[in-house]
Structure 1
Amino acid sequence: MQLKEKQQEIQLEWDNELRKLLGSYISHCYKVNSIIDTLKRGKAKLKDMDNAGSYEEQLKLSKEAKKNIEAFTPEEVDDLLKELTEIQAQIKMYLFHDDPYAVAILISIQKMNDKLMKLDNDNIKDLNVIITAARNYFRHQWEITNKVAK
């Protein structure tokens, strides 16, 4: 009996750490979305320069585009993406079971990463899928814990 209790205690610790990692992953995704959005605004302003009627308007759009494009340093972006990758790797290590709940989280994270790599920041639904998959996983883990406790 003590072995099962110890296993459950360890599982609860892992789940708590996994919960933190998933929260951090989602937070980092929002930051990446913000960067993508800012860069897209800068790119749109550069396109608008072609259609600007006057030199003053072109200059104004150029300054605005530069401000958007330089809002984040390459180092900041690299650090954020590195952290995102590290968090994802840690999540994968915690989800080593091949149960459907863990697999759902891993698949949803992979879909999110695919969108981020395409610089697609229209991914709020994908973030919600990750959250739902995580909730289902933790609900299932709680049910297992309650069965063992009885």
Structure 2
Amino acid sequence: MSIIRNDTQVALNDLHVALQRSSDHYLDAAKFLQDEQASEFCRQVAAEREQLINAVEQAVRESGELPSAPDRDREAGEELLERLEGLFSADQTREVLQKRLDTERELRALLAKPDMAVLDEHYADLKQRCRKSVDDVIRALGERIG
């Protein structure tokens, strides 16, 4: 492990943290939502994200770095805010799924950033798997929200 990360290590770590945050938020939503179908959907997305997290974590380790972890305090605050917004919404499920959709779009934007292009040389397949997962979830959320 080096004190200074190279561009590939930075991109992999950023992707790892973003995927971990995504999974954590889906698990929280699954526990919070009263709609069992929506909860199951969130659990499935979290499980799929865990597979990607493991693959990205392995890539981080292969690059000679240790994977970073999301800021737990930030996550707790975001999850609390999402729960409050959901509680005061006329349609809790729709509100929570819309928030997840917005976050998926942010994840897609992260993958499209020029900083992530460095992954195309050695990790193009992994990046493509992540992009496909995000696109599939965006499509599924759009269908659920209507």
TM range (shorter): 0.3 to 0.5
TM-score (normalizing by structure 1)? 0.39
TM-score (normalizing by structure 2)? 0.40
